[in-house]
């Protein structure tokens, strides 16, 4: 990591706050070895009991990438009965589609695919590009969460098993990307720069997002997950093929992370991804520095992707250049739930609520006002 994260802080030893935070997050969220195995057994038992008598006992998201593909393999091996859910936002690579088809056929998992209205979604993605913030993947990520939640509620399934894992995903600076669950932020950007109404776009409100988070299981945090080992299993046992970079199974993600972010903002997300792998012992700092000397991906493919993206969005070269050269903006430049939470009226209301709650709790038995309710 370097100072392309504007909020980075280095201590006297030259270690940044991301690496310090990594240790704390692993301690809080990761369970390894035999304890991890026992925890997984407990989770599997809970999910199985909750889904007894139902066709599916959990929902998983699949993109064709490493993490989600390994989750599909792992949960099936653990004896669970998942429904795989995929969001087709119009940018799937042929390789990603093939990976999904091969994997699910071999392990025996049913697939549900939600196809977004392209004109609507294109309008939203263009709005984010015109907003000039470094988080144009938010429309896709938010829709994925919403679709997983929708299918879980529709089928009465309590648990959603996620491919998110602490060991390989801890170093992403908030200034590089934030607001994935913030529907107010998404609406604000679209209201300012969009042209079509969002009639069918899947979304979740403030309380929906928090309710959904309570049903998500990050199973890879308990499986001693090593990305290179997972890739080897997927390739040798399931015919899975690598696509060249983290999240590069999507053409748009590949282009956005590998072309637009470095040129417009100076952000190379490989720094964050590789830093997490260094902290988890899955690569070395020297090897990571060598990888950063290489292009994010092949130059000829970058140019082909640029031409494809411009054509698919239906914009001109001049319009794309205007997007590329517009002054960078921040998440905080637009209305959002997070910005609202920073306002003085909100802080005053929150402090008043906490004061009234403490007064109400005074004098009550500890069993009623225990820590779980604080």
Number of Cα atoms under 13 Å in the Cβ half of residue 134: 24
Considering the domain boundaries, does residue 232 fall inside one?
yes
Same domain, 305 and 210: yes
Q: 126 and 224: one domain?
A: yes
283: domain CATH number is 3.40.50.620
Q: Read off the tokens for 161.
A: 């098993």
Residue 38 lies in a domain: yes
Q: Is residue 10 part of a domain?
A: no
186: in domain: yes
Are both 223 and 351 inside the same structural domain?
no
What is the predicted pLDDT for the residue at 170? 87
Q: And the tokens for 24?
A: 């704390």
pLDDT of residue 239: 86
Quick check: is 11 in a domain?
Answer: no
Place of tokens 């109404």: 197
Q: Give the per-residue pLDDT at 367.
A: 32
Asked if 235 and 159 sit in the same domain, the reply is yes
* Rounded Cα gap, residues 329 and 134, in angstroms: 8
What is the mean pLDDT for each group of 10 consecutive residues in the chain (374 residues)?
94 93 93 95 96 96 92 96 96 89 94 97 98 95 96 96 91 92 96 97 92 93 93 91 70 94 95 94 95 93 96 97 96 92 65 68 43 31
Residue 241 confidence (pLDDT): 83
Alpha helices of the chain — where are they, by DSSP H? 17-29, 33-50, 66-77, 94-107, 118-131, 138-155, 183-193, 206-213, 227-238, 251-255, 261-264, 270-279, 285-292, 299-313, 317-325, 337-341, 344-361
Q: Are residues 183 and 292 in the same domain?
A: yes
Same domain, residue pair 237 and 318 = yes
Q: Would 128 be classed as within a structural domain?
A: yes
Tokens read off for 67: 């993490």
pLDDT at 49: 96
Residue 3 forms part of a structural domain: no
Neighbours of 122 (CB within 10 A): 19
Domain count, the chain: 2
Domain enclosing residue 236, as ranges: 17-333
Q: Please return the burial class of 34, using the count of CB atoms within 10 Å of its CB with bins 0-12, 13-18 and 19+.
A: exposed
Residue 260 DSSP one-character state: I
Sign of the torsion formed by the C-alpha atoms of 299, 304, 310 and 313: negative
Domain identity same for 158 and 224? yes
113 with 180, same domain: the answer is yes
pLDDT of residue 358: 72
Residue 163 lies in a domain: yes
| Same-domain check for residues 91 and 180 | yes
pTM beyond 0.75:
yes
User: Is the domain of 49 the same as that of 76?
Assistant: yes
Same domain? For 289 and 341 the reply is no
Q: CA 304, CA 309: separation in Å to the nearest integer?
A: 9
pLDDT at 363: 56
pLDDT at 240: 87
Same structural domain, 159 and 294: yes
């Amino acid at each position: 990591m370097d100072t392309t994260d504007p909020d980075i802080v280095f201590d006297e030893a030259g270690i940044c706050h991301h690496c310090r935070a990594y240790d704390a997050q692993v301690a809080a969220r990761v369970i390894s070895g035999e304890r991890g195995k026992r925890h997984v057994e407990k989770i599997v038992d809970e999910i199985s009991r909750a889904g007894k008598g139902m066709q599916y006992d959990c929902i998983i998201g699949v993109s064709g990438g490493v993490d989600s593909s390994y989750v599909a393999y792992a949960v099936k091996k653990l004896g669970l009965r998942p429904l795989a859910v995929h969001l087709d936002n119009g940018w799937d690579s042929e390789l990603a589609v093939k990976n999904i088809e091969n994997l699910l056929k071999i392990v025996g998992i049913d697939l549900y695919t939600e196809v977004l209205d392209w004109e609507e979604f294109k309008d939203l993605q263009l709005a984010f590009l015109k907003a000039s913030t470094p988080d144009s993947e938010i429309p896709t990520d938010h829709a994925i969460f919403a679709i997983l939640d929708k299918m879980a509620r529709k089928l009465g399934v309590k648990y959603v098993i996620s491919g998110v894992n602490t060991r390989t995903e801890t170093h992403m600076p908030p200034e590089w990307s934030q607001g994935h669950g913030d529907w107010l932020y998404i609406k604000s950007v679209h209201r300012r720069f969009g042209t079509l109404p969002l009639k069918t776009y899947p979304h979740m409100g403030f309380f929906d997002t928090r309710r959904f988070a309570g049903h998500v299981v990050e199973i890879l945090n308990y499986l001693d997950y090593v990305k290179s080992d997972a890739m080897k299993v997927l390739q040798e046992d399931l015919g899975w093929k690598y696509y060249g970079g983290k999240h590069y199974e999507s053409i748009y993600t590949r282009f956005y992370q590998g072309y637009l972010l470095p040129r417009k903002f100076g952000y190379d997300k490989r720094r964050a991804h590789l830093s997490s792998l260094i902290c988890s012992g899955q690569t070395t700092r020297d090897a990571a520095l060598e990888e950063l000397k290489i292009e994010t991906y092949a130059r000829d493919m970058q140019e082909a992707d640029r031409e494809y993206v411009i054509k698919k969005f239906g914009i001109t070269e001049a319009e794309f250049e205007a997007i590329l050269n517009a002054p960078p903006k921040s998440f905080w430049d637009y209305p959002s739930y997070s910005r609202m939470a920073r306002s003085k009226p909100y802080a005053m209301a929150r402090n008043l609520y906490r004061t009234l709650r403490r007064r109400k709790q005074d004098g009550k038995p500890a069993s009623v006002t225990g820590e779980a309710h604080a």
